[in-house]
């Protein structure tokens, strides 16, 4: 038998054994809270963590003060995300003085970085358990050791093990689901910490993914979001060769699938085959997130993005030739080391030419361990903020004009939650991933309903439900 399969079988037996041991300790009386930072990948990891907790007999709650266990699932993409975690650990340190039995666990991308991990160990003695992104399945064993007197119960794996695919998940929603199709990243953009925290690329077999999606559809899921750090490179290294576009065509044919989304695409790897999928597949949503990061070819080279501004614009032109109405989203970074005023003007020019429907904009954040952090040509914060505001002043009017085109049109919206701005309304997303608030009731959550758009701003749309 293959040694990796032996390892997975042994590990699975170990997981089940420690779940049983923790059940005896918890006796269904322990309560846990999971706090999630970061991307959809982290959200899905937290679904797995919650599944394990319930298997061990924990009741999931939202109040820190009632918790016997608090787990922070962390993000390290930007410094501000780490600072938020440190602040929460400080609050939990205080809480632990009043609740001596409280266990605190920290997991996720921050813990895969040795510098962040060492800082947590040094500054926060209240942390009992540490694990990384590649060994969520170790949680029952780490908890058991902590309850049996181990001061710091810690396990970090640098290599992804297939066992995580055998874990269940406490799905946040019954009507929409995240599905990992691959893990890790091989691109090593000079600003990004992900390859160091998530490891190198590894794709799941297509049959395994399809089977998981069929199971989710049977349980009521209407919308499937495929996750990977770079889904466009899916399939490399698989024994049964499958491209990302081929995987999409297979998923589109699954009976009961209503919507397919995916995150995230790398521009250098988007293929013609994938572009044509936006023409051919009736369940693939009319939305593409294609992070550009910067509009200057010089800066893109310093970022190690492996495409130029002209390459990117050619991809956009081809996409719009195939699907003129597609909604486009992007990531834009302001203030990368060495960015000049001329480089920034190139970014503004690209934004005007592409006219994005939505965008995720952020200031460059120095991440230790990445090549860009070593640059002596850092952009002063004052200049970063000035440029950032200039960018928003161009992006927001474009987004408003894009949304205006939907006024008086009827769109299909998946009801997702009670609106945060008006408890009398339901919020959800249309096919183009635009946020829509409409008059409805809790019965509309989890359903795809017709909504006539009545008004818009740069960030959301308002509408009324119609039959």
CA distance 37 to 50: 15
CB 117 within 8 A of CB 110: yes
Token couple for 352: 């005007």
Q: Which ranges in 323-367 belong to alpha helices (H)? A: 341-354
CA distance 18 to 22: 6
CB 78 within 8 A of CB 67: no
Reduced to 3 states, what is the DSSP secondary structure of residue 54? Answer: helix
Reduced to 3 states, what is the DSSP secondary structure of residue 236? Answer: coil
Token couple for 227: 């996750």
Longest dimension (CA), the chain: 64
CA distance 160 to 179: 16
**CA neighbours closer than 13 Å in the CB half-sphere of residue 212:** 20
CA distance 299 to 311: 14
Q: Is 39 annotated as a binding residue?
A: yes
Beta-ladder partners of 329? 289, 358
Q: At residue 227, what are phi and psi to the nearest 5 degrees?
A: -115, 140
Q: Is 185 annotated as a binding residue?
A: yes
Nearest to 99 by CA among 73, 122, 70, 119: 70
Token couple for 31: 């309560």
Q: Is 107 annotated as a binding residue?
A: no
Which residues are annotated binding-site positions? Answer: 39, 75, 109, 185, 189, 192
Binding site membership for [4Fe-4S] cluster: which residues?
Answer: 39, 75, 109, 185, 189, 192
């Amino acid at each position: 038998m293959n040694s990796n399969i032996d390892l997975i079988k042994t590990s699975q037996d170990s997981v089940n054994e420690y779940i049983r041991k923790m059940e005896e300790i918890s006796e269904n009386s322990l309560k846990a809270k999971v706090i999630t930072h970061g991307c959809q990948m982290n959200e899905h990891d937290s679904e797995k963590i919650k599944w394990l907790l319930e298997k061990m007999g924990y009741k999931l709650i939202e109040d820190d003060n009632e918790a016997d266990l608090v787990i922070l699932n962390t993000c390290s993409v930007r410094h501000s995300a780490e600072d938020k975690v440190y602040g929460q650990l400080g609050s939990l340190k205080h809480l632990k003085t009043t609740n001596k039995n409280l266990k605190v666990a920290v997991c996720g991308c921050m813990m895969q970085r040795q510098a962040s991990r060492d800082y947590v160990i040094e500054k926060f003695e209240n942390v009992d358990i540490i694990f990384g992104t590649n060994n969520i399945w170790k949680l029952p064993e780490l908890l058991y050791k902590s309850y049996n007197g181990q001061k710091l119960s810690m396990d970090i794996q640098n290599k992804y093990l297939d066992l995580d695919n055998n874990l269940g998940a406490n799905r946040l929603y019954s009507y929409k689901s995240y599905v990992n199709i691959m893990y890790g990243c091989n691109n090593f953009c000079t600003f990004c910490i992900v390859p160091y925290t998530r490891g190198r690329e590894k794709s799941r077999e297509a049959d395994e993914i399809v089977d998981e999606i069929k199971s989710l559809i049977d349980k009521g899921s209407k919308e499937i979001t495929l996750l990977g750090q770079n889904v466009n490179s899916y399939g490399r290294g698989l024994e049964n060769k499958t491209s990302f576009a081929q995987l999409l065509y297979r998923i589109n044919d699954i009976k009961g699938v209503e919507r397919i989304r995916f995150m995230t695409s790398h521009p250098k790897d988007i293929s013609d085959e994938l572009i044509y999928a936006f023409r051919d597949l009736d369940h693939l949503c009319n939305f593409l997130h294609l992070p550009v990061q910067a509009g200057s070819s010089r800066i893109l080279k310093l970022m190690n993005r492996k495409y130029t501004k002209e390459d990117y614009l050619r991809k956009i032109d081809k996409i719009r030739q195939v699907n003129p109405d597609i909604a486009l989203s992007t990531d834009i970074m302001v203030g990368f080391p060495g960015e000049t005023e001329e480089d920034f003007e190139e970014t503004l020019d690209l934004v005007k030419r592409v006219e994005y429907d939505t965008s995720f904009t952020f200031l460059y954040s120095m991440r230790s361990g990445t090549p860009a952090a070593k640059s002596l040509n850092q952009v002063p914060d004052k200049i970063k903020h000035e440029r950032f505001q200039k960018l928003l002043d161009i992006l927001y009017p474009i987004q408003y004009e894009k949304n205006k085109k939907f006024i008086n049109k009827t769109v299909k919206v998946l009801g997702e939650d009670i609106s945060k701005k008006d408890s009398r309304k339901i919020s959800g997303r249309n096919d183009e991933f635009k946020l829509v608030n409409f008059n409805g009731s809790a019965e509309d959550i989890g359903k795809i309903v017709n909504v006539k758009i009545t008004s818009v701003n740069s960030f959301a749309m308002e509408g009324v439900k119609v039959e």
